[in-house]
């Protein structure tokens, strides 16, 4: 195992620098949408309950959906204006989601904000985690898991290190890269607040070495602060995947079926850390995030996007398409979700929107496995994708579980590398979902 790197892995779109070149030098610009659609399932967990109705006037940052419990978050108005509708709507998941639509009055009239303190040292540690939940913060790297749950260390476990994930190994995304360059102090404050809340004295900011400028900036930002350091990682996809990042940084492996806390680690995305800083020191809930817009648009860029902004408005902000898009992706090209309709709103997890042309993204026909072994070489988990696919195809979930399909992190490396264009990752994802459903039913 190479130090500061991972097992297996690939370099997607290597010749195009991972598709990042078009946006890595474009500063973050604020963008105000005409309308936002806020789902009550913007995060992983129990959906929120709407507390506004059509016709209401809401202020910026006002709670419009109440948290549904511990593994849940409130939803805040990301613009000020009039609530147009509250209704169930089909979004990216297979079930309709309760959605609040607000027309932006462009006044940006904030609710009253109450910061917990002016600086990190003056904040009451016990107040931090509840305030993070109240601010609606979830992981901004892609999984959207509520951050306060991660920071609540279970009894019997100890957290030794908090790692800030600045790997950003997915294609096209430069949102965290720009954030690290433009707001390093917010990321460091967020990290220190998370450390204060969990009584941890070691914080590591992990960045891939294809972002030398960000490494230098963050090094300057942590200089003189005790317990904080920056680690440079050899760039390789999927290093930003939580399990892989922990291995690259600490050399430890998260146990099978375990959590990062089992090896004394909590991982937070760079954007999440900045959101924690804003929530505690400014009292601001999570109403916007940095989103990269890339692909076949006229002027690709990075935007400070209000949660719930329709993708089509972001495309317009980039001057429209250069070519007819064939596929629109939220997230990167290795793990992102396909947007069925450009009117879909962005969410808290949307780090990137990529429009791809037919030439770039047309699915290719699947051929027979030629047993080249590349899938074994690239699997960061050490699995046997070719064999797992054969077993999953038999439809026996017990057998599939026995060949470790549940360990698959759905990174897409095997499918990316397969010369026969075998559908591996999607079969594993479907099988994992089926096994999880079966387990829930059995309970």
Chain residues binding another protein by CB under 8 A are: 7, 10, 12-13, 171, 243, 247, 253-258, 262, 324-329, 331, 333-342, 356, 360-361, 363-364, 367-374, 376-377, 380-384, 386-387, 404, 407, 410, 412, 415-421, 423, 425-426, 429
Nearest-approach distance from CB 436 to another protein, in angstroms: 17
Report helix, strand or coil for 418. coil
d(CA 43, CA 242): 17
Nearer to another protein, 200 or 417 (CB): 417
* Token representation of residue 354: 């990529």
125: left (phi over 0), alpha (psi -120 to 50) or beta: alpha
Identify the sign of the CA torsion 59, 60, 64, 70. negative
If you write DSSP's letter for every residue of 206-270 in order, what string do you get?
EEETT-HHHHHHHHHHHTT-TTEEEEEE---BTTTSHHHHHHHHHS--PPTT--GGGGTEEEEEH
Nearest-approach distance from CB 311 to another protein, in angstroms: 10
129: phi then psi, degrees, rounded to nearest 5: -65, -45
Cα dist. 276→127, 185, 270 in Å? Answer: 12, 12, 10
* Token representation of residue 183: 């707001």
Nearest-approach distance from CB 344 to another protein, in angstroms: 10
Nearest-approach distance from CB 277 to another protein, in angstroms: 31
Any residues with CB less than 8 A from the CB of 346 and at least 6 apart, and which?
Answer: 291, 305, 307, 308, 309, 310, 311, 314, 330, 353
Nearest-approach distance from CB 362 to another protein, in angstroms: 8
Nearer to another protein, 136 or 412 (CB): 412
Any residues with CB less than 8 A from the CB of 359 and at least 6 apart, and which?
Answer: none
Directed axis angle between helix 184-198 and helix 270-277, to 10°? 80
Nearest-approach distance from CB 287 to another protein, in angstroms: 27
Nearest-approach distance from CB 407 to another protein, in angstroms: 6
If you write DSSP's letter for every residue of 364-396 in order, what string do you get?
----------HHHHH-TT---HHHHHHHHHTT-
d(CA 74, CA 70): 11
d(CA 202, CA 160): 7
Nearest-approach distance from CB 8 to another protein, in angstroms: 10
Nearer to another protein, 21 or 410 (CB): 410
Nearer to another protein, 243 or 284 (CB): 243
CB-based burial label for 105 (10 Å; 0-12, 13-18, 19+): middle
Nearer to another protein, 284 or 389 (CB): 389
Q: Taking the chain, what is the end-to-end CA distance rounded to the nearest angstrom? A: 39
Nearer to another protein, 44 or 376 (CB): 376
Nearer to another protein, 114 or 364 (CB): 364
Strands (E), 80-193: 81-90, 96-104, 161-166
Nearer to another protein, 60 or 417 (CB): 417
Nearest-approach distance from CB 48 to another protein, in angstroms: 27
Nearer to another protein, 12 or 271 (CB): 12
Nearest-approach distance from CB 356 to another protein, in angstroms: 7
Nearest-approach distance from CB 130 to another protein, in angstroms: 28
Identify the sign of the CA torsion 232, 234, 238, 242. negative
Nearer to another protein, 171 or 189 (CB): 171
Nearer to another protein, 61 or 331 (CB): 331
d(CA 95, CA 423): 25
């Amino acid at each position: 195992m190479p130090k500061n790197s991972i097992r297996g892995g690939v370099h997607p779109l290597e010749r195009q620098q991972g598709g990042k070149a078009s946006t890595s030098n474009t500063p973050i610009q604020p963008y105000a949408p005409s309308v936002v659609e806020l789902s009550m399932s913007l995060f992983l967990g129990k959906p929120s309950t709407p507390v506004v109705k059509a016709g209401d006037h809401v202020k910026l940052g006002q709670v419009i959906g109440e948290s549904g419990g511990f593994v849940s978050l409130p939803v805040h108005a990301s613009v000020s204006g009039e609530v147009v509708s509250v209704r169930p709507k089909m979004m990216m998941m297979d079930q309709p989601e309760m959605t609040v639509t607000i027309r932006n009055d462009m006044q940006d009239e904030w609710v009253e904000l109450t910061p917990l303190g002016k600086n990190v040292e003056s904040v009451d540690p016990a107040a931090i985690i509840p305030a993070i939940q109240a601010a609606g913060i979830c992981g901004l790297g892609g999984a959207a898991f509520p951050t306060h749950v991660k920071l609540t260390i279970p009894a019997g476990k100890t957290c030794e290190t908090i790692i800030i994930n600045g790997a950003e190994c997915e294609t096209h995304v430069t949102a965290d890269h720009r954030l690290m360059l433009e707001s390093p102090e917010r990321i460091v404050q967020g990290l220190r607040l998370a450390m204060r809340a969990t009584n941890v004295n070691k914080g590591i900011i992990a960045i891939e070495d294809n972002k030398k400028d960000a490494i230098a900036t963050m090094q300057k930002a942590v200089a003189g602060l005790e317990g904080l350091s920056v680690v440079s990682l050899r760039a390789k996809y999927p290093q930003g995947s939580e399990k892989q990042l922990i291995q690259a940084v600490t050399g430890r492996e998260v146990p099978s079926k375990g959590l990062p806390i089992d090896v004394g680690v909590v991982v937070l995305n760079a954007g999440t850390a900045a959101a924690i800083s804003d929530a505690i020191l400014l009292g601001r809930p999570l109403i916007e995030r940095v989103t990269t817009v890339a692909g076949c648009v006229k002027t690709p860029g990075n935007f400070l996007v209000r949660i719930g902004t329709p993708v089509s408005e972001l495309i317009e902000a980039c001057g429209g398409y250069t070519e007819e898009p064939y596929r629109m992706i939220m997230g990167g090209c290795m793990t992102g979700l396909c947007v069925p309709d450009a009117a879909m709103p962005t969410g808290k997890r949307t780090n990137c929107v990529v429009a791809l042309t037919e030439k770039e993204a047309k699915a290719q026909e699947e051929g027979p496995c030629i047993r080249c072994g590349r899938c074994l070489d690239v699997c960061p988990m050490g699995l046997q994708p070719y064999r797992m696919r054969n077993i999953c195809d038999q439809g026996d979930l017990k057998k599939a579980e026995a060949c470790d399909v549940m360990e698959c992190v759905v990174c897409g490396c095997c499918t990316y590398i397969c010369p026969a264009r075998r559908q591996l990752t999607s079969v594993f994802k479907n099988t994992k979902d089926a096994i999880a459903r079966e387990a829930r039913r059995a309970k």
